[in-house]
């Protein structure tokens, strides 16, 4: 893998911080799951669709895991690193080449598949952590709300942000 330029590293750092802050800024604790609902998924979608899968992978995984550690959910940090990182990778790979348009089949499919991956990933992580495949079933509705809520929040942010970034030549698409 080639070395990142200073510009790419700065963008990656900002995206990681954006995921962390948006994850921590508005949270709804879910005692049944030992977790919380948050806005961070919308920023993972944004990073992956606009900047690509590498940014979605790193900013999604690191930003979300860092938020878990800082918010007192350190027991979820490792599963979150893997689940959210792969969510960013999946969304970025599916949406590849469609970063300059919003309502394309690829972009919508990427959001749906990314959200469903997150729900599935947290189900199996919960099953492993609780030693039961029944207990984490109650996490599914909350994770669906978080994933698809993140997709709905992403949609109105996409167009103005992608246009501004394109004008400032932060993205080439």
Residues 14-25 pLDDT 10s: 999 999 999 999
pLDDT band at 103 (very low <50, low <70, confident <90, very high): confident
- Distance CA(86)–CA(114), nearest Å, equals 8
H helix or E strand, kind and range, residue 125: helix 105-130
- Residues 76/79/82/87 CA torsion (nearest 10 deg): -80
Least Cα distance to 46 among 87, 80, 77 occurs for 87
From the list 28, 128, 39, the residue with the least C-alpha distance to 78 is: 128
- Of 117, 142, 152, nearest to 42 (Cα)? 152
CB within 8 A of 164, min separation 6: which ones?
A: none
Beta bridge partners of 30: 35
User: What's residue 168's pLDDT?
Assistant: 66
Model pTM above 0.75? yes
Is residue 40 within 8 Å of residue 118, measured between CB atoms?
no
Quote the CA–CA distance of 19 and 90 in Å, as a whole number. Answer: 17
Rounded (5°) CA angle 86-62-8: 95
Domain ranges of the chain: 6-167
Reading the block at residue 157, the tokens are: 């942010």
Residue-averaged pLDDT of the chain: 90
CA distance 45 to 68: 18
For the CA atoms of the chain, what is the radius of gyration?
15
Q: Which top CATH class is 6-167?
A: mainly alpha
pLDDT in tens, 56-88: 999 999 999 999 999 999 999 999 999 999 999
């Amino acid at each position: 893998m080639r070395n990142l330029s200073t510009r790419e590293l700065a963008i990656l750092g900002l995206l990681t911080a954006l995921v962390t802050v948006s994850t921590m800024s508005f949270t709804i604790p879910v005692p049944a799951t030992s977790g919380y609902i948050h806005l961070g998924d919308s920023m993972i979608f944004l990073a992956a669709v606009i900047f690509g899968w590498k940014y979605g992978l790193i900013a999604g995984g690191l930003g979300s895991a860092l938020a878990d550690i800082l918010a007192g959910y350190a027991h979820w940090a490792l599963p979150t690193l893997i689940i959210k990182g792969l969510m960013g990778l999946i969304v970025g790979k599916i949406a590849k080449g469609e970063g300059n348009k919003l309502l394309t089949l690829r972009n919508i499919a990427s959001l749906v598949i990314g959200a469903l991956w997150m729900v599935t990933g947290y189900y199996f992580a919960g099953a492993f952590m609780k030693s039961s495949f029944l207990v984490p079933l109650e996490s599914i509705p909350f994770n669906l709300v978080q994933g698809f809520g993140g997709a709905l929040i992403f949609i109105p942010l996409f167009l103005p942000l992608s246009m501004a970034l394109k004008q400032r030549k932060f993205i080439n698409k």
